[in-house]
């Protein structure tokens, strides 16, 4: 949960840091068993697609 926002969901956030958009991702820690590797990969791919569409190079 970014910046202590208990209502934040995984994905793009409404807040920014300056001109930088905030994107919350699941923690890849093994202790975070709620998220499967496949589900985490989907979220990371979603972030990459958004960055690429915004013209950000990986």
C-alpha 17/C-alpha 34 separation (Å) is 28
Q: What is the largest CA-CA distance in the chain?
A: 34
End-to-end CA distance of the chain: 24
The pLDDT score that the predictor gives to residue 30 is 80
pTM higher than 0.85, yes or no?
Answer: no
The pLDDT score that the predictor gives to residue 18 is 92
The pLDDT score that the predictor gives to residue 7 is 81
Across the chain, which has 58 residues, the per-10-residue mean pLDDT values are 75 90 87 88 94 81
Do 42 and 28 touch, CB atoms closer than 8 A? no
C-alpha 4/C-alpha 52 separation (Å) is 28
């Amino acid at each position: 949960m970014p910046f202590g926002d208990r209502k934040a969901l995984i994905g793009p956030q409404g807040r920014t840091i300056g001109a930088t958009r905030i994107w919350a991702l699941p923690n890849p820690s093994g202790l975070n068993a709620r998220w499967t590797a496949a589900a985490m990969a989907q979220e990371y791919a979603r972030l990459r697609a958004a960055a690429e569409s915004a013209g950000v190079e990986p």
